[in-house]
């Protein structure tokens, strides 16, 4: 073997008499391969500072969209991974790699551009809806990696990271930023041991259809489970669990209601990361991107309350800080005070710090929940709707909504099938 290599080298560099055209050709190919190897290494790393070690043994090859290192302090030396077969160079970075927003397969679930008519609300037409079952799902590959996060665990379903871990912030800053103040990430808060319910599933599907978020973050001590959850994380892999116990004390004030913990968690989530917060029974009905230009956006539920079912914020927006401080300076053990009345008062006092999107986030209000449950409501100007899931006691699933002639039905079909009209039975 050694002798042969020696001969090849000799063939290339010396004017030996016994060389043949074939061996010369092989020699040239080898030289080109070596040059290509170094070119690839140098080319990929042309912006990097140092390349301390070069390891030829490849642990694995990850097909990544973008490696994230922007604004991240690299405490560990770079390590070069080189896959000789694929001739690609990868860097092992401190925190991992960014996800690509997955392209969703539309075969079983018509995940196509929505085609609902916003002028015809008679519900006299019918359409052919796609066959859809939460059981028929092929798991999408996770396209991102997280490494060296504090306590990050990678279960068979999704990653779990600690609230406040710089790893998560680095991910969002590096992977989820565009030129708008509000990053395209969606936050939910989840407590307890329940299964993911139908309306929770619908809310997630609405975020996925209309927002295609860079990340969906589920904040709380536990994760949901059940059939709908199994579908969701397989369908949309860009989901992270942000582990935290639910707070019982804020600024030395003991929280009076368990709902107040979720109110505080949503404010803290937006202060730390920015993004779009959704209640687990709030659905969105169109993309929110036009509202991502504002530092802070909320909508009224009633004329004297500011709904917090859908809140969009720049990270640490001034409005958020003022709202959060009310839990320190003016915490009242009244159910709706700090969550709904305080932001309404702040909006009046500091109108420049907030964009108020009318009633477009939660109409109809809880007072008219029957318009959601029993009637067909015209939601043509709504961005979102609060479904008041805990008051809905009737059977509901992805089959029932096909022919359910109410707002619950039309909203479900719009989100799941892209068209609000009744399905052919």
Q: Which is nearer to ligand NAG, 37 or 132 (CB)?
A: 132
Q: Which residue is nearest to ligand NAG (CB)?
A: 358
The residue from 92, 281, 301, 357 that contacts ligand NAG (CB under 6 A) is 357
Task: Report 70-129 residues binding ligand NAG (CB under 6 A).
Answer: 70-71, 105, 107-108, 122-124
Least separation in angstroms between CB 37 and ligand NAG: 26
Q: From residue 30 to residue 49, what is the string marking binding to ligand NAG with x (rule CB under 6 A)?
A: --------------------
Which of the stretches 11-19, 86-94, 149-157, 392-400 binds ligand NAG when contact is defined by CB under 6 A?
A: 149-157
Q: From residue 236 to residue 265, what is the string marking binding to ligand NAG with x (rule CB under 6 A)?
A: ---------------xx-------------
Q: Which is nearer to ligand NAG, 280 or 382 (CB)?
A: 382
Question: Under the criterion CB under 6 A, does residue 360 sit at the interface with ligand NAG?
Answer: yes
Assess contact for 373 and 408: CB atoms under 8 A: yes
The residue from 10, 41, 72, 137 that contacts ligand NAG (CB under 6 A) is 137
Question: Under the criterion CB under 6 A, does residue 134 sit at the interface with ligand NAG?
Answer: no
Which of the stretches 3-11, 154-162, 183-191, 361-369 binds ligand NAG when contact is defined by CB under 6 A?
A: 154-162
Q: Which is nearer to ligand NAG, 10 or 369 (CB)?
A: 369
Question: Under the criterion CB under 6 A, does residue 163 sit at the interface with ligand NAG?
Answer: no
List, as own/partner pairs, every contact residues 249-252 make where C-beta atoms lie below 8 angstroms and the sequence separation is at least 24, other chains included: 250/327, 250/328, 250/331, 251/327, 251/328, 251/331
Q: Which is nearer to ligand NAG, 330 or 405 (CB)?
A: 405
Q: Which is nearer to ligand NAG, 57 or 124 (CB)?
A: 124
Question: Under the criterion CB under 6 A, does residue 314 sit at the interface with ligand NAG?
Answer: yes
- How far is it, in rounded angstroms, from Cα 172 to Cα 242? 13
Least separation in angstroms between CB 271 and ligand NAG: 5
What residue ranges bind ligand NAG (CB under 6 A)?
70-71, 105, 107-108, 122-124, 136-138, 145, 150-151, 154, 156, 162, 251-252, 271-272, 295, 314, 316, 352, 357-358, 360, 375-376, 381, 405, 422
């Amino acid at each position: 073997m050694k002798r042969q290599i020696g001969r090849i080298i000799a063939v290339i560099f010396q004017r030996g008499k016994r060389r043949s055209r074939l061996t010369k050709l092989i020699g040239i190919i080898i030289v080109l391969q070596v040059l290509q190897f170094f070119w690839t290494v140098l080319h990929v790393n042309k912006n990097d500072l140092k390349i301390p070690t070069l390891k030829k043994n490849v642990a694995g090859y990850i097909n990544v969209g973008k490696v994230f290192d922007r604004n991240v302090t690299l405490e560990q030396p770079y390590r070069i991974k080189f896959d000789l077969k694929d001739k690609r160079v990868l860097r092992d970075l401190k925190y991992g790699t960014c996800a690509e927003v997955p392209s969703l397969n539309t075969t079983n679930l018509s995940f196509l551009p929505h085609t609902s008519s916003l002028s015809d609300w008679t519900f006299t037409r019918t359409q052919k809806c796609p066959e859809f079952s939460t059981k028929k799902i092929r798991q999408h590959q996770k396209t991102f990696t997280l490494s060296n996060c504090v306590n990050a665990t990678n279960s068979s379903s999704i990653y779990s990271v600690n609230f406040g871990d710089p790893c998560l912030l680095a991910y969002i800053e590096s992977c989820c930023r565009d030129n708008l103040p509000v990053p395209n990430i969606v936050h939910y808060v989840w407590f307890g041991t329940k299964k993911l319910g139908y309306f929770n599933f619908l809310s997630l599907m609405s975020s996925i259809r209309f927002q295609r978020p860079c990340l969906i973050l589920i904040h709380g001590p536990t994760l949901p489970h059940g059939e709908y959850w199994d579908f969701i994380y397989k369908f949309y892999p860009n989901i992270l669990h942000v582990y935290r116990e639910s707070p019982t004390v804020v600024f030395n004030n003991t929280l009076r209601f368990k709902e107040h913990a979720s109110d505080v968690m949503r404010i803290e989530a937006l202060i730390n990361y920015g993004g779009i917060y959704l209640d687990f029974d709030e659905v969105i009905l169109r993309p929110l991107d036009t509202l991502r230009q504002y530092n802070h956006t909320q909508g009224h539920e009633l004329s004297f309350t500011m709904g917090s079912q859908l809140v969009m914020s720049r990270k640490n927006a001034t409005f958020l800080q003022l709202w959060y401080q009310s839990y320190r300076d003016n915490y009242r053990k009244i159910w709706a005070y700090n969550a709904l009345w305080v932001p309404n008062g702040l909006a009046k006092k500091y109108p420049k710090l907030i964009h108020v999107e009318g009633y477009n986030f939660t109409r109809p209000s809880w007072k008219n929940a029957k318009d959601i449950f029993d009637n067909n409501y015209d939601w043509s100007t709504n961005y979102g709707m609060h479904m008041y899931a805990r008051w809905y006691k009737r059977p509901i699933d992805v089959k029932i909504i096909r022919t359910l002639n109410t707002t619950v039905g039309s909203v479900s079909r719009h989100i799941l099938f892209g068209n609000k009209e009744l399905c052919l039975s």
